[in-house]
Amino acid sequence: MTGELSPIDKAKFVAAKRAAEFVEDGMRVGLGTGSTAAWLVRCLGEMVREDGLKIRGVPTSTRTADLARDVGIEVISLDEAKWLDLTIDGADEFDSNLSLIKGGGGALLQEKIVATASDQMIVIADAAKEVEHLGSFPLPVEVIPFGWQTTQALIEETMVSMDVMGRQTSLRMNGDRAFVTDEGNHILDLHLGRIGNPRQMAMVLNQIPGVVENGLFIDICDQVVIGYGDGRVEVRDINAGTVSEGRVDFVEDDNLFKDI
């Protein structure tokens, strides 16, 4: 039941519930990865089961694919879809320009590919994810396993000339082993504190040999849906320059919460 959810989880839920309203019958929808995106998948699954919504989902990770199938969403590959009407995903941070840091869940490569293959990207987040400057959240960088320590050294050397507060990097771990992405790569987390020029950072990182992709999403997000623990929701559209507010009511016996 919703009464058992923390304020943060309530905020994530209302953002996901509001964003689900942008999904229309017949759409090909990119499905993000992470705790907030999981609420979105559950909301869409309910719309498929209860309202007869017909969509095809392109997941950004095996975790999301499994959840989507479990809730009744038809899952297809990006190659099958060719192009998407909409992608809805979470973010680890976003700023006033709707630039993002993503990759906390380890799926940044598929997330960026899917998002850029969409007519529109909507980010769903709780209010705590908004920052004045990106960088408090460690920036994930996906690297190939071969020579990853050399790649790490090159990244640290490059950071000396960048507008950042810190330059510490760490290999993401899964227990006592290196974390492995769906593509078989590793992730280096960059503890930068503040990124003065995210656009420059994104371009520079991707020029370093061994780097597959970075977690900076620049000029990709079109709208952000911000949820609050009291049910309030704010929608910002960067293209239209509009901000709208509303509220999502909680339903205590909602099937979405049966496994909470």
Query: Are 145 and 245 in a shared domain?
Result: no
Q: What is the pLDDT of residue 4?
A: 81
Q: Are residues 164 and 224 in the same domain?
A: no
Instruction: Confirm if 127 and 243 have CB atoms less than 8 A apart.
Output: no
pTM over 0.85: yes
For the chain, the domain total comes to: 2
Residue 1 pLDDT: 40
Mark whether 157 is an active-site residue: no
241 is in an annotated binding site: no
Do 188 and 99 fall within a single domain?
no
* Same-domain status, 21 and 123: yes
158 is an annotated ligand-binding site residue? no
Tell whether 63 and 118 lie within a shared domain.
Answer: yes
CB 190 within 8 A of CB 169: yes
Return per-residue pLDDT of the chain as tens, 260 residues. Answer: 445 889 999 999 999 999 999 999 999 999 999 999 999 999 999 999 999 999 999 999 999 999 999 999 999 999 999 999 999 999 999 999 999 999 999 999 999 999 999 999 999 999 999 999 999 999 999 999 999 999 999 999 999 999 999 999 999 999 999 999 999 999 999 999 999 999 999 999 999 999 999 999 999 999 999 999 999 999 999 999 999 999 998 765 556 655 54
Q: Are residues 206 and 84 in the same domain?
A: no
Question: Among all chains, which residue has been given the structure tokens 């082993």?
Answer: 177
Is 210 annotated in some ligand binding site?
Answer: no
Return the CATH number at 177: 3.30.70.260
Six-digit token string for 19: 């964003």
What integer pLDDT is reported at residue 249 of this predicted model?
A: 84
Q: Are 44 and 169 found together in one domain?
A: no
Q: Distance between alpha carbon 98 and the CA centroid of its chain, in Å?
A: 12
Catalytic residue among 46, 111, 142, 213: 111
Are residues 123 and 243 located together in one domain of the fold? yes
- H or E segment at 101? strand 100-101
Query: 33 among the known binding-site residues?
Result: yes
Is the same domain home to 101 and 157? Answer: no
Alpha carbons 213 and 226: distance in angstroms, whole number: 26
| One-letter amino acid for residue 171 of the chain | L
Asked if residue 32 belongs to a known ligand binding site, the reply is: no
Is the same domain home to 126 and 143? no
Range of the domain at 120: 2-131+219-257
Q: Is the domain of 203 the same as that of 145?
A: yes
Residue 41 token pair: 């998948």
112 & 19 share domain: yes
Does 102 carry a binding-site annotation? Answer: yes
Q: Is residue 73 classed as helix, strand or coil in its secondary structure?
A: coil
Q: The domain that contains 52 carries what CATH number?
A: 3.40.50.1360
